[in-house]
Amino acid sequence: MPDQLPVFIVRELKALEPTATGRAFASVLVIKKLAAKTASNGNTFLSVELGDRTGSFGCTVFGDSPVFETLKAAGEGGVVRVEGKVEYYQGRLSPRLARAAELAEAELSAPGVLESLVEIAPEGHEAMWQEFAVLIDALKHDALRLTVRGVFDEIGDTFRWSPAAIAMHHAYRHGLLEHTLHMARACRALLPHYPEVDPDLALAGILLHDTGKAIEYEGTLATKRSRRGILQGHVVLGYQLARKHGIKARLDADRLERLEHIILSHQGEPEWGAAVYAATPEAVFVSMIDNLDARMGMVQRALRQAGDNDEFSERLPGLSSPLLTRKITPPPITP
């Protein structure tokens, strides 16, 4: 496939004037949604949504299209390099695709490719993952450390790529790892000031509290809730993971119950998804740190996205307010 075609991101494609009709282009895109449908004449066609981190557009691909088989095979979450010509249908961008090729894993990991497709946590995930491993090793209580390690041996690969949410805080690639790591850092900083909290239990609880999301969210490029996520919810899924590996690690019954309780109660209020109210010092502590870092994560993201001249961000639903993103007046320089 020739590479010389101009490569467009979706925001640019959408910014083209109608006079661009017929213009050739190339793009690297994720298949965000794909559904095979049957027209009233019996023919099968694909209803596809293609996008990158700057936006997405829908198109209908009929059985006789040259890209039909490639898109169908790639499936939701697949990444394809497409070539086509700009067209409009019913007033919306609806390019006519002439070629499509799925990207191999190796191509995906080329510098910049992924970043162009999805929003990614600002800290490098390799470094975060190493810090994470150090945190696990630092747990002093043997069975607790084995429990945590057991869980991440099982779901760690998914965990480190998963977003922390579909639409709320830390809703981007590696967001779950980032949010959990930030909570662990906050926890360690606060522990000296809350001596009634058992350090190992609180930290283990933080590391495990959202692990159910690695099962609840499916797909890292086109995230949606999985069947297990809908039918059980991440709170119960995470509880089940901790229970399984706690028993395997012969964690004493008292600690296991307290660890499970942190996971079951971390959402704070039943209407936000908690199975029970937090009823141990560690569970109260973890749920409040979760709250704090979730809100600060929204602040951090809004600051990253703010233009230099913006005074306020858009209204952030999680804060019920726009955020003042303008920098503070620098303090006077004292000579």
How many residues make contact with a second copy (CB under 8 A)? 88
Taking the least distance from each CB to a second copy, the nearer of 118 and 183 is 183
Taking the CB of residue 209, how many other CB atoms lie within 10 A of it? 29
Angle of helix 281-305 versus helix 253-265 axis, rounded to 10: 40
* 4-12, 73-81, 127-135, 145-153 -> range binding a second copy (CB under 8 A): 4-12
In the complex with a second copy, the residue whose CB is nearer, 125 or 141, is 141
What residues have CB less than 8 Å from 91, skipping those under 6 apart?
A: none
- Cα–Cα distance between 215 and 195 in angstroms, integer? 34
- The interface with a second copy within residues 194-253 (CB under 8 A) comprises 194, 196, 198, 200-201, 227-228, 230-233, 235-236, 239-240, 243, 252
Tokens of 205: 């609880």
Query: By C-beta, is 67 or 156 nearer to a second copy?
Result: 67
- Minimum Å gap between C-beta 331 and a second copy is 5
Q: Taking contact as CB under 8 A, which single stretch among the options 36-44, 71-79, 127-135, 171-179 is the one that binds a second copy?
A: 36-44
Among 1, 272, 305, 314, binds a second copy (CB under 8 A): 272
Cβ count within 10 A of residue 132 = 20
Between 39 and 78, how does the x/- string for binding to a second copy read (CB under 8 A)? Answer: xx-------------------x------------------
Q: How far apart are CA 229 and CA 176, in angstroms?
A: 15
291 near a second copy (CB under 8 A) = yes
Among 73, 108, 138, 324, binds a second copy (CB under 8 A): 324
From the list 154, 186, 219, 220, which residue makes contact with a second copy (rule: CB under 8 A)? 186
> Among candidates 235, 215, 244, 216, which has minimal Cα distance to 148?
244
SS3 70: helix
Segment interacting with a second copy (CB under 8 A) among 105-113, 150-158, 160-168, 303-311: 303-311
Q: For residues 81 and 242, give the distance between their C-alpha atoms in angstroms, rounded to a whole number.
A: 41
Beta bridge partners of 60: 47
Please report how many Cα atoms fall inside a 13 Å half-sphere around the Cα of residue 300, on the Cβ side: 18
Q: Does 284 bind a second copy (CB under 8 A)?
A: yes
Tokens found for residue 63? 């059985």
CA distance 61 to 45: 6
Select 17 or 105, whichever has its Cβ closest to a second copy.
17
Q: Which of 23, 99, 125, 141 binds a second copy (CB under 8 A)?
A: 141
The total of other beta-carbon atoms located within 10 Å of residue 264's CB is 21
Stretch that binds a second copy, among 25-33, 107-115, 124-132, 264-272 (CB under 8 A): 264-272
